[in-house]
């Protein structure tokens, strides 16, 4: 809490911390309830995350967890060299599943499958890139499952015909309006 609020200034006024990556984008996420976890190797490991690169990424409550997961998965899919199957196919498949979630085509069972795939990627790649994608995505699905399910339902309402088109990037939409 001290690092995020006192040293970094905290989230914008009126916002709260929804989730944070204590060790960069490859670290399993922690929630706003975990802000008082000491920032050291052992405490973060006990909380289910890690120090990783030491970069702290904070996401406030104005951002959908599905959007964070999808952007992250797309980044790792782009960075994958494609040499090993778990990373190449795991990243591709994760992006595809998150696009299904975003468009409202996914089901709660798809979330179970996606979480299982993330577990199967970890430790089975030639390098750590696959792990770096799977650990935060898996933790987001586990810790924010209700939000993933609500996102699916809301997307079904917006998209009753089930077209697998992801919603527009809110940053790009805001930029276009400016």
Where are the chain's structural domains? Answer: 2-60, 65-166
The pLDDT of residue 156 = 86
Architecture of domain 65-166: Up-down Bundle (1.20)
Q: What are phi and psi of 30, to 5 degrees?
A: -120, 160
Q: 0.95 cut: is pTM over it?
A: no
Task: Label the pairing between strands 57-60 and 30-31.
Answer: unpaired
The Cα 68–Cα 128 span in angstroms is 20
Handedness of CA 97, 145, 114, 134 (dihedral sign): positive
Asked whether 134 and 150 are in contact (CB, 8 A), the reply is no
The pLDDT of residue 83 = 95
Q: Which of 119, 147, 146 is nearest to 133 (CA)?
A: 119
The Cα 10–Cα 78 span in angstroms is 31
Domains 2-60 and 65-166 alike in fold = no
Per residue of the chain (178 residues), give pLDDT as tens. Answer: 889 988 889 999 999 999 999 999 999 999 999 999 999 999 999 999 999 998 999 999 999 999 999 999 999 999 999 999 999 999 999 999 999 999 999 999 999 999 999 999 999 999 999 999 999 999 999 999 999 999 999 988 876 665 555 555 555 445 444 4
Per CATH, is 2-60 categorized as 3.40.309.10? no
Alpha carbon separation from 141 to 66, 138, 148 (Å, rounded): 9, 5, 7
Asked whether 1 and 36 are in contact (CB, 8 A), the reply is yes
Alpha carbon separation from 65 to 2, 16, 124, 142 (Å, rounded): 24, 14, 26, 11
DSSP label of 6 = I
The pLDDT of residue 177 = 44
């Amino acid at each position: 809490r001290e690092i995020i609020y006192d040293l970094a200034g905290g989230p914008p006024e009126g916002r709260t911390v929804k989730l944070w990556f204590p060790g960069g984008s490859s670290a399993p996420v922690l929630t706003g309830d975990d802000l008082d976890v000491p920032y050291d190797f052992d405490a973060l490991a006990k909380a289910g995350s890690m120090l990783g690169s030491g970069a702290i990424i904070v996401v406030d409550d104005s951002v959908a967890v599905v959007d964070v997961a999808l952007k992250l998965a797309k980044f790792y899919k782009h960075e994958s060299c494609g040499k090993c199957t778990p990373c190449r196919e795991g990243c591709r498949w994760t992006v595809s599943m998150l696009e299904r979630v975003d468009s409202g085509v996914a089901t709660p069972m798809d979330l179970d499958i996606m979480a299982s795939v993330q577990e199967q990627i970890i430790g089975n790649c030639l390098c750590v890139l696959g792990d770096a994608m799977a650990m935060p995505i898996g933790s987001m699905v586990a810790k924010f499952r209700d939000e993933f399910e609500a996102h699916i339902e809301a997307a079904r309402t917006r998209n009753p015909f089930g077209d697998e088109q992801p919603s527009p990037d809110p940053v790009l939409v805001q930029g276009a309006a400016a």
